[in-house]
Amino acid sequence: MTTTRGPLNAFLDYPESSVPSAPNGALAGLRLAVKDMYDIAGYPTGGGNPQKEAESGIAETTAPAIQVLLDAGASFLGKTQTEELTFSIIGMNAHFPAPVNPRARERVTGGSSSGSAAAVAGGLADIGIGSDTNGSIRAPASFCGLLGLRTTFGRISMEGAMPLAPSFDTLGWFARDPLVYDKVAELLLGADTHGDELSRPVRISELEGYLFGEAERAAYGDMLEKVGAHFDGIMGFLALPGAPEELFDAFKQIQAYEAWQTHRAFLSSKERNLGPGVKERLDYARSLTNETVEEARSRRQRFQEEFAALFDPKTIMVTPSQPSAAPLKMSTQAELQSYRDLSLTMNSIAGLLGWPQISIPLGEVHGAPFGISLLGPAGSDRQLIHLASKILSGT
């Protein structure tokens, strides 16, 4: 069985295979780490499960989005650890040593893009490719003090990537340097399709209600002041057309159903020894009826329509990235599940809308990184990145 290599348990110890990159280009000299759900020619695609790795075979071609970065001169370092079947958000895969969060070593990295986040936060890589179905970029970015964008759904091809829930899956990446972040964005995203300037920031009180306690509220207040300084006028509030818990129920049902459909053949063929949490989520997924899922999909459609009816195209939503700093590694399973439920409820709004959301490493709480997020309309990804860069630089 493949294990990890390096001091942060970020990279998988696959036998090395040559992955050529262009000698020149916009990313020349930058080091690239890739989550082990994307095909890289010469490597297996394990998806965080040893049996899947053993049965996957060696990829003959590289995922097109990754190939774009290699053709721009990025130097491939290796494939990084992911949570099992990419179906978790904490960052601890039962089959591998836990990746190390270099910014808070007693805390988790977050997942499922755990290895890529650890590699970038620890300075081993400049660019860490991950994915975000319901927070797998945004949570590790907040936990590890990184920039991390959930991209507009469908804007970047997921060809050559192991799916989880195809109607929510998006490609994303981590970086420490905003200039590096935007170089990758220019290659993968091109020009924004949302033409209005995002100049009217609003808060969402329902999501701020998920902050853990007074320390989190104080840290978030400090970040709000820094974000607000980049806009004219007072930051107002926008009410969600639906309770976050009820909206997350719809998200969870759709995601779980699609995850079961994605992995059904693999999981049904024999015992796969799934780790705790992942096994229970897939057992739940298997129990869902078509009627339940169609009702959830109808709820998603209504939410999108209701939100579009009240949304101004110049509006940008400002929210906490996560309810607190990363959970402690010593947390009980019950404590981790409690954190996960709050985190996923907050994350699900962007996923239901299919809109981009960027986590900005602007604060700290309990001595650990704590991010704030900007959520904008579909096709405003580059504008969110540019705003994040200005906020970080204080200009």
Residues annotated as part of the active site: 35, 112, 136
The DSSP secondary structure of 256-316, one letter per residue, reads: HHHHHHHHHHHHHHS---PPTTHHHHHHHHHH--HHHHHHHHHHHHHHHHHHHHH--TTEE
Q: Are 11 and 114 in contact (CB under 8 A)?
A: no
Residue 101, classed as helix, strand or coil, is coil
| CA 294 to mean position of chain CA atoms | 26
Give the strand pairing for 170-175 and 147-150: antiparallel
Can you tell me the distance from the alpha carbon of 126 to that of 120, in angstroms, rounded to the nearest whole number?
Answer: 6
Q: Copy the structure tokens of residue 80.
A: 């990084």
Can you tell me the distance from the alpha carbon of 82 to that of 45, in angstroms, rounded to the nearest whole number?
Answer: 11
Can you tell me the distance from the alpha carbon of 137 to that of 115, in angstroms, rounded to the nearest whole number?
Answer: 11
